[in-house]
Amino acid sequence: MKTKTNEFIKKAIENGYDDNRTYGWDWIRNNLQELDSIFQTGEYKKQGGMKSKCMPFLIQDNELSVLEMGILETAWYLNNERVHKKEKKERIKKLNKEGFFNIADDEKLDKKKIEWIQDTSCDYFGGLNKYTGKLSWSKVDKRLMCLQGKHRRRGHWNSENIYIKFI
């Protein structure tokens, strides 16, 4: 595996990665699978994406320059991005199976009774929060708002993180 990381580093430098860490990200993003022999191991996954715990798996016994370390740090960051996107797709698929979907803002849906889930899993202490209530059309903002229970004014705007099921 030591040679795979060294080859990956060489190719990244050849494809534009520089000391400023501004170029070459696209190449790294498109070729992350070359490091999957490290990223897909059970030991690596147990680290939960924490940089201080994951980087030793990438570095191994190599003596690396600052530029080479930057390449591996960028690969670590982009792998975490890839993992989070995959988890979000799985979460959305699960919600869709349960009957919860994103809906477009439409005035015709005013006053409809709903169950809705707010996905705040990208926040620090987030998760999936489930509510019952109704939809309310805002004439001023021309948007739907999900109101909880007997609330008349406080609620959440219909957005990409709101999944609705009609009752």
CA nearest 36: which of 71, 5, 77, 81? Answer: 5
- The arithmetic mean of pLDDT across residues 89-107, rounded, is 93
For residues 35 and 58, is the Cβ–Cβ distance under 8 A? yes
Task: Please give the DSSP secondary-structure letter assigned to residue 139.
Answer: T
Per-residue tokens: 13: 């430098």
For residues 28 and 74, is the Cβ–Cβ distance under 8 A? yes
| pLDDT tens figures, 28-80 | 999 999 999 899 999 998 988 888 888 888 888 888 899 999 999 999 999 99
Residues with Cβ within 8 Å of 81's Cβ and at least 6 positions away in sequence, in order, are: none
Per-residue tokens: 1: 């595996």
| pLDDT tens figures, 23-42 | 889 999 999 999 998 999 99
Q: Look at the block and give the residue holding tokens 């030991």.
A: 43
User: For the sheet containing 143-148, what is the strand order?
Assistant: 155-157, 143-148, 128-138, 113-119, 162-166
Asked whether residue 1 carries a pLDDT value surpassing 60, the answer given is no
Question: Is residue 131 helix, strand or coil?
Answer: strand
| pLDDT tens figures, 143-159 | 999 998 887 778 889 88
Question: Is residue 59 helix, strand or coil?
Answer: helix
| pLDDT tens figures, 111-147 | 999 999 998 877 666 788 899 999 999 999 999 999 9
Q: Look at the block and give the residue holding tokens 């489930």.
A: 130
Q: What is the pLDDT of residue 123?
A: 65
Residues with Cβ within 8 Å of 105's Cβ and at least 6 positions away in sequence, in order, are: 142, 143, 144, 158
